[in-house]
């Protein structure tokens, strides 16, 4: 049973989220601050989470700082992370995605949508661990991916990607040379209808291009359609 950790300092919201997760047959643990979260995370006797739901606006250490710390730790670089934000500013959403968040959900949100996004992230995580062996090694010019070790290199230099950046690059590599519709990318990589949230895809593409350095130029924008890897 997947174990989900929720970092939210608003007790009412935290309890609602925990109740919804448990009612959907997930194990769920709540934390009111980054301090208690990291103390538990560093306890070797406690099994690490399969997914983290992280509020941006926290008293003390904010969610973006916690996110950054997680992504700087090798064993949590691919941990699925869903950000909760009460802010309407696109800047905060974009910053979270730039720091490695896999998805975000603005408050107020519906419980059904929350559970749908959690299931989608977990589904993608399981899929990435069980991809058939015939696509274990993928290459496009100077980009190499070993799907067994989830290692990506550019000109033999290791590149660190977030969970969603990796899944996005994998999908592009599998379909190199093919124009991919935006909706199809969102459905395949995120696992659900992202209507009105296409900015998420754009920001992941932007981040992926940056991390791939010059090789990022291989990812082409197809105006009014989507994206393509290669000519």
CB within 8 Å of 219: residues ≥ 6 apart: 172, 205, 208, 209, 212, 227, 228, 229
Q: How many CA atoms lie within 13 A of 212 on its CB side?
A: 24
82-103 mean pLDDT: 76
Q: What is the pTM of this model?
A: 0.70
**DSSP code at position 115:** H
Amino acid 90: pLDDT? 65
Reported confidence tier of residue 103, pLDDT bands at 50, 70, 90:
confident
| Confidence grade of residue 120 (pLDDT, cut at 50, 70, 90) | confident
Among residues 48, 40, 39, 47, which one has the least CA distance to residue 81? 48
Rounded distance, CA 91 to CA 22, Å?
A: 32
d(CA 125, CA 102): 11
Say how many residues make up the chain: 231
């Amino acid at each position: 049973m997947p174990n989900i950790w929720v970092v939210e300092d608003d007790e009412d919201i935290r309890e609602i989220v925990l109740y919804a997760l448990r009612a959907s047959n997930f194990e769920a643990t709540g934390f009111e601050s980054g301090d208690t979260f990291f103390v538990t995370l560093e306890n070797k006797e406690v099994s690490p989470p399969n997914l983290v739901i992280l509020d941006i606006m926290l008293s003390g250490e904010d969610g973006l700082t916690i996110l950054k710390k997680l992504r700087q730790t090798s064993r949590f670089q691919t941990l699925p992370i869903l950000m909760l934000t009460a802010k309407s500013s696109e800047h905060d959403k974009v910053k979270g995605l730039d720091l490695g968040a896999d998805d975000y959900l603005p408050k107020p949100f519906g419980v059904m949508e929350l559970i749908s996004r959690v299931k989608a992230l977990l589904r993608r995580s399981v899929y990435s661990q069980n991809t058939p062996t015939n696509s274990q090694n993928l290459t496009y010019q100077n980009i190499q991916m070993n799907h067994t070790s989830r290692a990506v290199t550019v000109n033999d230099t290791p590149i660190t990607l977030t969970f969603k950046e990796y899944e996005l690059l994998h999908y592009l590599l599998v379909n190199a040379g093919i124009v991919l519709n935006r909706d199809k990318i969102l459905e395949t990589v995120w696992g659900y209808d992202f209507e009105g949230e296409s900015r998420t895809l754009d920001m992941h593409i932007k981040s992926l291009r940056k991390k791939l350095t010059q090789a990022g130029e291989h990812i082409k924008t197809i105006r009014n359609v989507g994206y393509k890897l290669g000519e």
